[in-house]
């Protein structure tokens, strides 16, 4: 491959790996917030255990996903400086707002939630996880604003060889964003629902002593996957009109069509599975041992569907980086050689691949150990000084 193809492949691989973390984070956040709400309202210990267990999985995925996002940001300056020079004033603004505003707020509220167990007032602690969810979705909004600008550079005009923003409203209401954002959110709920469902099926198949806990979790996972599938598929098909208006040749690209085929070929049967098979038997499903391996096998499929959808959206824009304005070739940083890109490709893909493996292993270990071993929200054991102080009183 020449240097351009190497750079494109590098971004596709690292972007796909990063999106695995993003999808699970966006999907798990509202589920954990709902579990915490049920605990705050009822005070029931089983709802607290569910919040801590699935919350620990959320925190693990979030923490490792941060590093993958840093690699993505670094690539813009390394390989695509032409994009910054031509459209940085417009494209960079949503990314800056996402980083300085939504992301920092999300991290702050998440830290308060993690360390606020048994320290913050009950309702204030609950507010923290809902603020984490809202700021996570705000981050997704700004990222999709920036991405939609690449699909359709609305609200900007060219002056002096650079794009400048002339209409903020047009940028924030870009048609290629308004339908895509709910689609991404639905796909994320779909991913999280299948993750909860598959993990619960694994424990039930092992004949766990926590059968009641994972029975409830499996049903919650099916409901989340059902809601996510309706949103994802509905807004997915709604985008066809927008695509035909702004990018009529999108699905004619060499890779976009087969990417699209994989997404629909996997996604549609999964939706039918949820709607017409799992939902009608939701009450009995956790009792059927033969069904549990099937649920475990299909758990990765929503992740593959999400990646296929992302590849369709990006590859279908070729050869443009900013549709109709800036080609991918013109956006690439000058002076790059095949050796330089290959070296960075190996480094980035290796780091992100390692993080993905570590993330999977940590989540799998948490699932395998079960809710009794969850450490989120559990006070640290008293040290020698604390014990001595307690005994003296």
**Bridge partners for 156 per DSSP:** 165
95-139 pLDDT per residue, tens: 989 988 777 899 999 999 999 999 999 999 999 999 999 999 999
Q: Which residues contact 370 (CB under 8 A, 6 or more apart)?
A: 53, 203, 208, 210, 213
pLDDT value for 255: 73
Radius of gyration (Cα) for the chain, nearest Å?
23
Residue found under tokens 């060219």: 158
Strands 162-165 and 326-327: unpaired
**Closest alpha carbon to 65 in 111, 15, 115:** 15
Q: Token pair of 270, please?
A: 């999964």
Residue ranges of alpha helices (H) inside 152-210 are: 168-172, 175-178, 180-205
pLDDT of 266: 86
Q: What is the pLDDT of residue 388?
A: 36
- Summarised one tens digit per residue, pLDDT across range 293-337 is 999 999 999 999 999 999 888 888 889 999 999 999 999 999 889
- For the stretch 196-217, pLDDT in tens is 999 999 999 999 999 999 999 9
Torsion of the alpha carbons at 93, 95, 96 and 97, rounded to the nearest 10 = 90
Integer Cα distance of 186 and 257 in angstroms: 22
Q: How far apart are CA 140 and CA 20, in angstroms?
A: 14
pTM for the complete prediction?
0.92
Distance CA 92, CA 85 (A): 10
Phi, psi of 140 (to 5 degrees): -60, -40
| Cα–Cα distance, 242 to 290 (Å, whole number) | 43
């Amino acid at each position: 491959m020449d240097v351009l193809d190497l750079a494109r492949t590098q971004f596709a691989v690292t972007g796909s790996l990063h999106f695995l973390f993003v999808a699970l984070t966006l999907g798990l956040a509202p589920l954990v917030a709902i579990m915490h709400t049920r605990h705050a309202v009822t005070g029931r210990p089983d709802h607290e255990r569910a919040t801590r267990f699935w919350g620990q999985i959320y925190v693990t995925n979030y923490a490792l996903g941060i590093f993958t996002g840093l690699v993505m940001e670094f690539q813009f300056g390394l390989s695509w400086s032409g994009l910054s020079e031509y459209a940085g004033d417009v494209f960079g603004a949503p990314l800056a707002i996402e980083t300085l505003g939504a992301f920092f707020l999300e991290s702050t509220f998440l830290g308060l939630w993690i360390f606020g167990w048994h320290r913050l007032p009950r309702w204030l602690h609950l507010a923290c996880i809902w603020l984490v969810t809202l700021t996570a979705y705000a981050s997704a909004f700004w990222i999709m604003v920036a991405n939609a600008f690449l699909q359709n550079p609305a609200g900007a005009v060219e002056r002096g060889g650079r794009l400048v923003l002339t209409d903020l409203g047009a940028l924030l209401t870009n048609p290629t964003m308004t339908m895509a954002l709910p689609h991404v959110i639905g796909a994320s709920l779909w991913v999280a629902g299948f993750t909860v469902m598959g993990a619960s099926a694994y424990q039930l198949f092992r004949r766990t002593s926590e059968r009641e806990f994972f029975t409830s979790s499996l049903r919650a996972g099916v409901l989340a996957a059902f809601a996510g599938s309706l949103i994802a598929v509905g807004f997915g098909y709604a985008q066809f009109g927008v695509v035909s208006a702004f990018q009529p040749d999108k699905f004619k690209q060499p890779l976009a069509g087969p990417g699209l085929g994989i997404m629909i070929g996997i996604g549609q049967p999964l939706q039918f599975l949820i709607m017409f098979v799992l939902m009608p038997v939701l009450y009995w499903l956790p009792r059927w041992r033969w069904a549990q391996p099937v649920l475990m096998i299909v758990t990765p499929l929503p992740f593959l569907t999400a990646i296929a959808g992302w590849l369709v959206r990006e590859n279908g824009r070729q050869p443009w980086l900013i549709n109709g304005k800036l080609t991918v070739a013109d956006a690439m940083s000058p002076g790059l050689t095949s050796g330089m890109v290959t070296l960075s490709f190996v480094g980035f893909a290796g780091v992100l691949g390692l993080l993905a493996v570590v993330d999977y292993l940590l989540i799998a270990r948490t699932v395998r150990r079960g809710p009794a071993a969850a450490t989120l929200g559990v006070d640290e054991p008293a040290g020698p000084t604390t014990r001595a102080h307690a005994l003296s009183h």
